[in-house]
A and B are shown apart, each in its own frame.
Chain A
């Protein structure tokens, strides 16, 4: 119910979701077909590494085409707000890049700060406290509970 109100207020835009979905699948299918055509195809009796991928890629292109055709008039409301998307993905990227050089505890605190940027108007001290809390719980479960050799700090 709430979603519909939001959309009614005009924050969302109407998009051709069927075209996007079908088009993406066709592109992925053609790409897979090009790559897989480099593998040995073999015969039905002795299938090579390329047999199954080629069949699947062709199937993907055909089904993607069918989706594009049947859903070409489909308009769906899409709610687009980039801020949460960038903040969450940025937080994960930061984790991936920092975990080795910096260690678990500082990485989590920095990544939590980034994740918190997904929402507007959060206070720094409460985010820092949350980061410290999450870092301690994660360290407690993985390092001390399950004995995973994750370095806590960089030294």
Chain B
């Protein structure tokens, strides 16, 4: 009964004018960046992040979450109409979506992806409501050694699973943790890596760092590569309706896709792209219609689209229950909570139950809003595909600058954006992944805290991490991930010099 009471109160809060407003802004902005190829959710979140400083924490999280959800809904539009994925996680939708469009079934494909996204989101939210409190119950018993081990596992999993080169991922995590040390050490009061600059005493800001690394670097990258999109055809509403047979055939693919998505969402470092690929691969294997995959099979877009949306919503399970973000976007959302003085970890929900339930309710509302935005208003989004990048990118840069400046009215922060924009572009050039760096940056401070506390409790004996069963298991899993990655790298080296040139280009 308490469950329904909580949910009811959550909906009461979520339907208030402020939360509803930021939810609507988030999903609309998210759909827009999802539709536009070349501007992903990370850029949009970087641009809108400064706004979260000026609104309450629940509105902040809903705004950012709405962007992430909306991008998954909107991202399939360009995949289907232009054979150009709107975001990375919609890449697999091109395989069957574009052939459907060439068959004159673009409307059906767009409708299917909207329904599948909604289905995946719904299943995932049910998992979020059930599992998050359960995990919190376990995690509340954690001490500092368990926390330290959990964060190590989260960082290593994110570094080794997400990128094709685990070594590069891990080295970037280390660099991120190192960057998080800039500023005043909370335990000793010493200034570290400040080089006598008073602006650095509070440390590097999360926002200027993320905006430079993701927003600015991505704009430069796209201008250098000079990719441009074609012109889409218009889509009428009537052409969107599915037949009864199509509805029946896509039900199980959506169920399986949602489960793949939840799995990849909970796993740190996996994320929506992996979920979508997993779902497509599974569907191709089990579907009775597998012969038509790649030629416009509707099952081939239903499963991955359910998966990517399920994945981004399930990613909130570890983020909200343990304070371990699975990817860079979750790290930023966690950052929005930190900005409002909420320390991530299992105490978040017991201390702010109303926050959790209003978030859950808002996520439901976001999905319903997205259904409305993507079905009757689809024509509007298709038109948006014709806006040239020449207009978009100066606006993106100015939003980033003005947003960062508005936080502390500090020109120094804008210079940090400049620095990390240049650094981020260099990282992209030499294929160093930036998302693990951001995860390391966010978890760096608590990582050092828990290490120190654990060592004080154990009187300087490092065995404490292996004597306590939970932390021992977590660290063993981390070691296993590293060993597995090393073994895979060795096999690849033996086979003759790493990835082929083609793979490397595609990875970019």
Interface residues of A (CB under 8 A from B): 2-4, 6-7, 17-18, 20-21, 24-25, 28, 32, 35-36, 39-40, 43-49, 52-53, 56-57, 59-60, 63-64, 66-67, 70-71, 73-74, 76-81, 84-85, 88-89, 91-93, 95-97, 99-100, 104, 108, 111-112, 115-116, 118-119, 122, 130-131, 134-135, 137-138, 141-142, 146-150
Contacts and interface: CB of A to CB of B under 8 A. Distances in A.
Contacts of A46: 456, 460
Contacts of A43: 460
Give the one of A131, A135, A141 with max B CB within 10 A. Answer: A141
A63 B172 CA distance: 10
Nearest to A20: B430
A63 B411 contact: no
Interface residues of B, number: 71
Nearest to A35: B193
B384 interface: no
Given A17-B431, A39-B192, A85-B224, A60 B178 contact: yes
B216 interface: yes
Contact of B455 (A45, A134, A147): A45
B6 interface: no
A97 B411 contact: yes
Residues of A contacting B: mostly? helix
16 contacts: A4-B505, A21-B168, A32-B178, A35-B193, A40-B188, A45-B456, A45-B459, A48-B188, A60-B178, A70-B493, A81-B224, A99-B405, A99-B414, A111-B397, A116-B390, A130-B395
Given A4-B502, A45-B456, A134-B395, A76 B181 contact: no
Interface string B454-484: 0110011010000000000000000000000
B406 A148 contact: yes
Contact of B174 (A63, A81, A99): A63
Residues of B contacting A: mostly? helix
A40 B190 contact: yes
Nearest to B391: A130
Contacts of B402: 95, 104, 108, 138, 142, 150
